[in-house]
Amino acid sequence: MLVSEILNGLPKFLEWMVLFDLSAVRQLTDDAIVRGMYHLPEDIDLDPYSHAILTSHGRFLASGTRQWLSEPNSGKGWSPKMIKSSLADRFESQLALFEVDESHCFGLGEQSPFAPVLLHVKIDADGYGAARAIFDREPTQKHYELLQAVGVKFLGGETQDNYYIARFRNRLPVHIHAGILSHFSRTGHCNLFFLQHGNIDSLLEEGLLKAAAVRIKFAKNRAYQAVAQLATAACQDSDLAMTCQPPAPAPSFSYGNLVPLGFALQALNVATAEEDAADNIADARQNLSQFLADNSQDGLWAFQTGRLITATDSALVLQGFTDPAAVQALEIFADGRGGYYPQLWSEREEAGKMLLDASCRHWCQTDYATTCLVRGLQQRAGLPTTTSLAYLEAGFAQRSGLYFANPYLVDYALAQAIELDPAAASLRQQLLTEMLASMNADYSFGTYDLAFSTALAILCLARLGCNGRTLRSAQLRLLDFIDSEGKFPTATPFYSSLRLDANIPMKNILGLLFAHKVASDGQQQQIKKVEGEYHSISLYLDTHGKISTAVAALALAANCNPAAYDLDWQQSDLQAIHPRYQCTQHCEYIAKFALPYYLQGVYA
C-alpha cells in the first residue's frame, strides 16, 4: 500500500500514528529484530506486508498487494474503504507540505496541549534517515546533546506557512541498536518527542540518559575485549609494535613495542576492577603485567625492547603500574630544579646514555610533558613531589612535549600532575577553561586524530572535576568512532625530530625538500623549518590501535554524573580557542607549538 492510502484508511479519531516502510527497515537489520521493534508475533512472515503501523489504538500491518490493514495477532482487519472520515482528512493542510508517498517513515498526531505535528523521514543507502517535522515553533534544544544516545542530530530548520520545519538526521543503525539494548522498552518516547514538538521533558531526558548509559557500557566492554586481545597478541609477538614513519622517501619500520602496553595495562586494570569483568580480562592483565616486568631494565623501560631506557617511556609504561620503587627510580633523570630530562646523554659511548650529536642536541633539556607525568606518578604512589606548582604554572602557556604529537596528550600529562593537589585549583581551572574552549560543536575535540584527541580530552575533563553532562556528551560522541571489533582508529601520539646539518648547502636542502614532497604524495610535510633550522620529523603511528583503543576504553569508563547539567559554560564568554588546538596536521602542531620552545631552550 502507498502511505497516502494508509492515511486514508486510518480513522480520524486516532491521537497519533507512525508507519514504517518494511522493505526499507528490513535492509538495515534482520527480521527477528524488526519483529521486536514493532512488538510483532515472533513467527509472523513479513513478506506479505508493506508497512508496520503503530497507533494510539494498537498496531497494524498494511498488505503489500491490496488495500487492507490487519491486526498482527488476531489477523482481523479492514479496508480503507470502510473509513468515512480519515486522518488524511483531519491533517489535510499539514500533509500538503510533503510528498507523503516518498517517505519511509511517516508520523502525525496531536496531543493536548500541543498543536498537530507531522514527521516525514527518507532513508538513504547508508542507513541515515533525513527527517523533517512540522512544529509550531523552533524547539528550545534543551537536552539535545543527549539525542546522540539514539543516533539523532538536530540540523536546524526554517519557518514556512506559519509552521516551523525542523530537520533531523537519524543514524538508523545506531537508533536500532539503542532500541535493542533497551529491549525496545522506550519506543513510545520517539513518538512523545515529536508530539511535544521536539521538546525534551524530564521523562524523555531520563530515557535518553538511560539509553546513553547502556550504549556507553556496551561500547566500553567491547573496547576492553579489544584491548585484551591486542595485549595478548603483543605478549606473543614482540614485532607487534608502533610504526616509525620518517620523512619520505625513507621507508617506514616497526618500532615501539613497549610504550603502548602501558596504556593497555591501565585499561585492563580498570576493567578488572569492575564487578562484571570477564575472566579473560584478568588473564590478559596478568600476562601483560608479567610481560612488561620481564622487559624492564633496572625497573624502568625503553620505547622498544632492549633499547635505551628513558624517563618519558618509563613514565608512559608506568601508567599501567602502581610501583613506588619504579617511580623513585625516575630520579636519575631529575635536573635538581623540579624538571626531568627525557633521557640521559653523553658525548661519548656510555652505557644507559644517548650518544649526543648536533642533530639531537635539543633533546638534552628538561621536558615539560615528562615532568608532568612524573609528578602525577609521584602523587599516585604517595611519594613526595619534586616539581613545584610554580614550575608547572611557568610552563603552562607554552606547554608541550618534546615527543608528543598531540596537544591533548600534553594536557593529559598536566591534568595528572595537578589532579590530586589541593593547591592546584587555579591551574586546574585554567586548563579546564582552555580545553572547553577547544571543544567542537559536536562535542568532539581537536582537528586531527579526532577519536584519540576526544578520548584524551574526556580523561582530562574527568581529572579536572568536569564530570557532568559535558563529559557524557563527549563520551557519546566518542562512540561514533568504535568499529565492529571494538577498536578505535589509528592515531599518531608521538614524534621525534632531528636537526639537519647546518653546513648542508641550501641547494641540497631544497633538493631534499623536493624529493620528500614528491615521495610523500600529498601527505603532510615532515621536513620543516623551525626557528631558522630545518628539522626532519619522524611520526610514530599506533598502527594496531593499542593506545587509541585503551585510551578510548578508559574515557568511556570515566566516572560521570550525567544528571548534573553543566553545559552553561556554552553560553558564557569563553576565551578564544588557543591556536595549538586548531592545527590540522601533526607536523603543523609540531612545527608551530611543540618544537619551537625546545629549540629556544625554554625548558633548559
- Domains in the chain: ranges and CATH: 3-200 (no CATH), 212-599 (1.50.10.20)
Give SS3 for 51: strand
Report the chain's mean pLDDT, rounded to a whole number: 93
Task: Give the pLDDT confidence of 169-197 residue by residue, as tens digits.
Answer: 999 999 988 888 887 778 889 989 999 99
Q: Is the pLDDT of residue 573 over 70?
A: no
91: region left, alpha or beta (phi > 0 left; psi from -120 to 50 alpha): alpha
> Band of the pLDDT at 510, cuts 50, 70, 90?
confident
Sheet of 117-123: strands edge to edge?
77-78, 69-70, 58-63, 49-55, 16-21, 105-109, 117-123, 128-135, 163-171, 152-160
Output the DSSP codes for 364-378.
SS--HHHHHHHHHHH
Q: Is the pLDDT of residue 576 over 90?
A: no
Q: Is the pLDDT of residue 603 over 60?
A: no
Task: Give the pLDDT confidence of 27-56 residue by residue, as tens digits.
Answer: 999 999 999 999 999 999 999 999 999 999
Task: Give the pLDDT confidence of 216-245 residue by residue, as tens digits.
Answer: 999 999 999 999 999 999 998 867 899 999
Of the listed ranges 99-103, 104-108, 114-118, 176-180, the one predicted with least confidence: 176-180
Grid coordinates in use for 5?
492510502
Burial category of 520 from C-beta neighbours within 10 Å (exposed 0-12, middle 13-18, buried 19 and up): middle
Task: Give the pLDDT confidence of 144-175 residue by residue, as tens digits.
Answer: 999 999 999 999 999 988 899 999 999 999 99
Higher pLDDT, 383 or 601: 383
Residue 239's pLDDT is what?
A: 75
Give the H/E segment covering residue 129. Answer: strand 128-135
Give the H/E segment covering residue 229. Answer: helix 202-236
CA proximity to 271, closest of 223, 236, 324: 223
Residue 10's pLDDT is what?
A: 92
Could you identify the residue written with the cell 631506557? 309
CA distance 382 to 327: 10
Residue 572's pLDDT is what?
A: 63
> Band of the pLDDT at 105, cuts 50, 70, 90?
very high
> Band of the pLDDT at 568, cuts 50, 70, 90?
confident
Residues whose CB is less than 8 angstroms from the CB of residue 598 and which lie 6 or more positions away in sequence, other chains included: 362, 363, 365, 367, 400, 402
Task: Give the pLDDT confidence of 309-352 residue by residue, as tens digits.
Answer: 999 999 999 999 999 999 999 999 999 999 999 999 999 999 99
Distance set, CA 277 to CA 314, 486, 530, 564 (Å): 28, 16, 48, 27
CA proximity to 471, closest of 371, 347, 565, 534: 565
Residue 212's pLDDT is what?
A: 97
| Contact between 285 and 270 (Cβ < 8 Å) | no
Give the H/E segment covering residue 287. Answer: helix 279-294
Residue 277's pLDDT is what?
A: 78
Residue 187's pLDDT is what?
A: 80
Task: Give the pLDDT confidence of 84-95 residue by residue, as tens digits.
Answer: 899 999 999 889
Residues whose CB is less than 8 angstroms from the CB of residue 307 and which lie 6 or more positions away in sequence, other chains included: none
Residue 142's pLDDT is what?
A: 94
CA proximity to 403, closest of 485, 494, 493: 494
Task: Give the pLDDT confidence of 261-312 residue by residue, as tens digits.
Answer: 999 999 999 999 998 778 899 999 999 999 999 999 999 999 999 999 999 9
Residue 520's pLDDT is what?
A: 73
Of the listed ranges 137-151, 274-288, 393-407, 543-557, the one predicted with least confidence: 274-288
Task: Give the pLDDT confidence of 420-429 residue by residue, as tens digits.
Answer: 999 999 999 9
CA distance 602 to 511: 32
Q: Integer distance in angstroms from the first to the last C-alpha of the chain?
A: 77
CA proximity to 32, closest of 45, 48, 51, 23: 45
The arithmetic mean of pLDDT across residues 391-396, rounded, is: 97
Residue 354's pLDDT is what?
A: 95
> Band of the pLDDT at 574, cuts 50, 70, 90?
low
Distance of CA 374 to the CA centre of its chain: 27
